[in-house]
Amino acid sequence: MTLLETIRSPKDLRTKTMDELGQIAQEIREAICGQIALSGGHLAPNLGVVELSIAMHVVFDFAWDRLLFDVGHQCYPHKLLTGRLPLLAGLRTSEGMAGFPDPRESDYDLFSVGHAGTGISTGVGMARGDTLNAEGFDPRTNPDGRRVVTLIGDASIVNGVAMEGLNNAGTLNRQFLVVLNDNGMSISRPQGAMAHYFDRLRLSHTYTEFKRSAREMLKDLPGGSLIREAYHRATEATKAWTGEGGWFEHFGLLTVGPIDGHDLPTLIQFLREAREIDRPMVLHVKTVKGKGYRFSEEDSSRFHSPSPFRVADDETKAAPTASCRVELKSDGRSFTSAFGDAMIDLMTRDPKVVTCTAAMPDGTGLTRIMQQFPERAWDVGICESHGMDMMAGLAKTGYRPFFAVYSTFLQRAFDQAFQEVSLQGLPVRLCLDRAGLVGGDGAVHHGFCDIALLRVLPDAAIMAAIDEPSLRGALEFMRTYDAGLSCVRYPRDSVSDRLAADACPPFVLGKARCLTPDFDVMDAHARAPDVCVLAFGTPAITALEAARQASCAVSVYDARFAKPIDADLVRALLERQIPIITIEDHGVIGGFGSAVLEAAAAMGLDASRVTRLGLPDAWIHQDPRSRQVAQAGYDAPGILRAIHDAAGASSPVPARRV
């Protein structure tokens, strides 16, 4: 039995020697790397916080104290230390451990978190609540009260919500610890003035004179000897600063660090003293993203959240610092890669096209674009709201901005999409990667509400791609669409080549594309179908497979637009009493199917023959994307059942025959 296997709760850590804690750190790295090599998952972020996670659980009792994660993708060591090692083998599936904190799994997880910037604000709320409940730590009146700790990264802390949280944290009259995990990386390199500020701190070997008032204050801090000592130490292992240059002190937070986030004895000592400080504090910890394996340290962006991979020469166990070759599993050409190539083509042809992303250049396909067009492509950091407003400013000056952002993170910039873009009639173009179900990342990352959000904006053009040619067609349409906001959505999936032999007609505002010409209801010479499937996005490809197996005549349309809807097509179908099945990789509430129902109502047509397939009004948690789609009921068997049910209700065709 390994030492890690003996850790059933954090209290078991407190019986271990420092050497044993170091061995546990190594075993955590081996367990995480070995599992992610099989299943994929967040690798580099978790490797970087192993010692920090151990130290926090040694010092604090998070069965009573509060631990708030910010983004949450660095929670694997925390989970292994809180009794969830048996769940690691099912990582990111319904049988195992979620890839983000999840209160369904453990009381040690307080929030399901996958969006950046929230941890400080929720921590402030819990600190205030504990104080009101007379449960908060106070060294004089309640020394056994609850402490509050928030773990946040250097890229997340520049997020607007994090700034608001810091501003309020400084007003707390009690213990509140922010552990700043500074690895010089988010998913890619952090951007902006704060990132440069942290760089200067890490590189500087000279420190300003410490304020006399700070020194006097520290004399009165309980157990503050080590922190006082830190003010006079400037070694490579432990560098500390506070004073006129202490940026966080402007928020009213005592600030100490940076200290070495991989030095367990130092971490534990500093955390023990910080635990007793009865005022808001930032502990600045310097870590290495991907720590422990050379391949992940040297390319931490690539190994932020890799697919399954194989390491040559079994480096994961034998020689973690050796040079090696790593092979990542590939499932084919992704929509992300297709988007990147299409954008390069657009930007080459049109010098007015510009683009940006919010800390996701690799994840959105912009990395090569930023290299090729450094003056017209930007990474704004984890600042989606700023990115949207910046794009509005560029549109106002006559450029054609394309904002590449995950669907789940678009939500953070909806106010700007409303106020600064749509209300102004500005043509900002949104490229929504990871739209729909996202697989192992689970509910925190599903792109299930972008259609519902954007459909309320006047003059918005909302599209979905079904394959690479249609993605290129949508982007070209958006390039010259100047009436208002436009967007195209596409999933975290491989592009299909099912229609590769067919020419992809240009996008025309509000017009669908028939994928089954023999049953095109808009063609007077075509045969009338028994059922019509209107699919928005990649479910159209799945619908073609279901239609091929159906026992009745089925027409399948690539709807292309959720706004404006192809009202002429909807009218033709309903007036001829042809049942309609709408399918979307999006919530059924407020989505494409809802738009079809609204269009029917506006035309005074009977919509009782419309069946909607999409994400149900319930959370779908981590699992492979194919299993999630089946759970939602719009995989090929689910669509086939819906076709036969619709046909059976309207015609003598047998209800089922596969």
CATH number at residue 627: 3.40.50.920
Q: Both 456 and 539 in a single domain?
A: no
Q: Both 445 and 524 in a single domain?
A: no
Tens-digit pLDDT profile for residues 91-116: 999 999 999 999 999 999 999 998 88
pLDDT surpassing 80 at residue 241: no
Q: What are phi and psi of 87, to 5 degrees?
A: -85, -10
Is residue 73 a part of any domain in this protein? yes
Q: Which of 412, 472, 492, 563 is catalytic?
A: 412
How far, rounded to the nearest angstrom, does the alpha carbon of residue 222 sit from its chain's CA centroid? Answer: 40
Q: Both 481 and 518 in a single domain?
A: no
Indicate the number of domains in the chain: 3
Is residue 655 a part of any domain in this protein? no
What residue has token string 């509005």? Answer: 392
Angle at alpha carbon of residue 385, lines to 382 and 390, rounded to 5°: 100
Is residue 316 a part of any domain in this protein? no
Cis peptide bond N-terminal to 143, omega within 30: no
Segment 379-405 shows an average pLDDT of: 97
Is residue 504 a part of any domain in this protein? no
What CATH number did the domain enclosing 351 receive?
A: 3.40.50.970
Is residue 418 a part of any domain in this protein? yes
Nearest CA to 146 among 57, 275, 54? Answer: 275
Longest dimension (CA), the chain: 90
Look at residue 246 in the predicted model and tell me its pLDDT: 64
The percentage of residues in the chain with a pLDDT greater than 90, rounded to a whole number, is 79
Q: Both 241 and 372 in a single domain?
A: no
Q: Which of 384, 420, 468, 584 is catalytic?
A: 384
Is residue 311 a part of any domain in this protein? no
Q: Which of 29, 66, 146, 289 is catalytic?
A: 289
Segment 530-538 shows an average pLDDT of: 98
Q: Which of 489, 523, 548 is the last residue of a domain?
A: 489
Q: Both 414 and 554 in a single domain?
A: no
Alpha carbon distances (Å) from 130 to 117, 139, 175: 22, 15, 11
Give the integer Cα–Cα distance in Å for 291 and 45. Answer: 9
First-residue to last-residue Cα distance in the chain: 51
pLDDT surpassing 60 at residue 202: no
pLDDT surpassing 50 at residue 587: yes
> Higher pLDDT residue, 388 or 187?
388
Strand order in the sheet with 580-587: 513-514, 554-558, 531-536, 580-587, 610-615
SS3 content of the chain, % helix, strand, coil (to 5): 40, 15, 45
Element (DSSP H or E) covering residue 565: none
Q: Both 110 and 194 in a single domain?
A: yes
Strand order in the sheet with 66-69: 66-69, 148-153, 176-182, 280-286, 254-260
CB 300 within 8 A of CB 294: no
Which of the 8 DSSP states describes residue 422?
Answer: I
Q: Both 580 and 621 in a single domain?
A: yes
Residue 376 annotated as catalytic: no
Look at residue 257 in the predicted model and tell me its pLDDT: 85
Alpha carbon distances (Å) from 465 to 198, 338, 532: 40, 11, 19
Give the integer Cα–Cα distance in Å for 409 and 429. Answer: 15
Q: Both 124 and 268 in a single domain?
A: yes
Q: Both 256 and 145 in a single domain?
A: yes
Strand order in the sheet with 461-464: 377-379, 353-357, 400-406, 429-433, 486-489, 461-464, 561-563
Q: What are phi and psi of 487, to 5 degrees?
A: -150, 155
Tens-digit pLDDT profile for residues 22-57: 999 999 999 999 999 999 999 999 999 999 999 999
Q: Both 485 and 540 in a single domain?
A: no
How far, rounded to the nearest angstrom, does the alpha carbon of residue 630 sit from its chain's CA centroid? Answer: 22
Look at residue 332 in the predicted model and tell me its pLDDT: 84
Is residue 13 a part of any domain in this protein? yes
Buried b (16+ CB within 10 A) or exposed e, 612-628: bbbbeeeebbbbebebb
Q: Both 404 and 274 in a single domain?
A: no
pTM: 0.86
Residue 384 annotated as catalytic: yes
Nearest CA to 175 among 22, 43, 283? Answer: 283
Which of the 8 DSSP states describes residue 253?
Answer: -
The domain in which residue 452 lies consists of 335-489
Q: Both 242 and 391 in a single domain?
A: no
Segment 195-214 shows an average pLDDT of: 38
Element (DSSP H or E) covering residue 296: helix 294-298
CB 68 within 8 A of CB 148: yes
Beta strands per DSSP E along 297-368:
309-311, 326-328, 353-357
Is residue 587 a part of any domain in this protein? yes
| pLDDT category of residue 650 using cuts at 50, 70 and 90 | low
Q: Which of 258, 286, 314 is the last residue of a domain?
A: 286
Residue 289 annotated as catalytic: yes
